[in-house]
Amino acid sequence: MLDSNASHYSCGEDFILLLAKFTVYFIKIFKLISTIDGLMEKFQELRNAAMKKLQLADHIITMTYPLVKDSRLLLSSIENLFLAMSYSMGSVLHYELTFKRIPPFPDNFASKFGLFRDKCAKKYNIPDEQLKIMKELREIIIAHKKSPVEFSRKEKFVICEDNYRMRAISPNEVKTYIEKAKLFIKGVTTIVSKGETIFR
């Protein structure tokens, strides 16, 4: 009788130990899946956010500005356009990170831009001109933040820099930026949409 009970308890302990090991294993798998899903959601979120910012930039310059005729809207369009391109760049980086093709990166523009230029642009045949546009948009925004004086002149928004140089932004210039940014964002959307079916 004692041997039978001992055997019974031994089987019960083995089962509990096996169950505990299975639970730990399941938790690890769940965490891994959650991590992959989180990364996937990140590049999707950035892609979608980029599209929204692009639409807003386009709406401002094609719909709102013609009605209001406030040249400050030109800068608003540029700010949204820069965010659209920046989010698109981030989308590709997080897409590459999902598949462990690039290492984790700091969340600042300089680091992301350098990594994107060196590891992604050539790989996906992204023209240098599109990278140049992103930098130009950022430079305009930085000049605006540092500018001591800004004013409107003949439908242009003029930014005066500390060195007395002036940077004039016209509606046609913003429209040109938008059309070129559309090509960049379209290309990025194609890139990051390829791997989505893997996670479905």
**CATH number for the domain harbouring residue 145:** 1.20.120
- Residue 172 domain flag: yes
- Residue 15 domain flag: no
- Residue 153 domain flag: yes
Q: Specify the number of domains making up the chain.
A: 1
Higher confidence at residue 10 or residue 118?
118
- Measured in whole angstroms, how far is the alpha carbon of residue 47 from the centre of its chain? 6
**Coil, strand, or helix at residue 103?**
coil
Does the pLDDT value for residue 2 go beyond 60? no
| pLDDT tens-place string over residues 36-74 | 445 457 999 999 999 999 999 999 999 999 999 999 999
- Residue 80 domain flag: yes
| pLDDT tens-place string over residues 10-28 | 555 665 555 445 444 544 4
List the beta strands (DSSP E) in 62-155.
149-153
Mean pLDDT computed over 82-90: 98
The whole-model pTM stands at 0.78
- Residue 13 domain flag: no
Domain boundaries, position 70: 46-199
- Residue 4 domain flag: no
CA distance 163 to 123: 39
Contact 20, 179 (CB under 8 A): no
% of the chain surpassing 90 pLDDT: 70
- Residue 85 domain flag: yes
- Residue 129 domain flag: yes
| Per-chain mean pLDDT for the chain | 85
| pLDDT tens-place string over residues 155-192 | 999 999 877 789 999 999 999 999 999 999 999 999 99
DSSP letters spanning 100-115: TSS----SSHHHHHHH
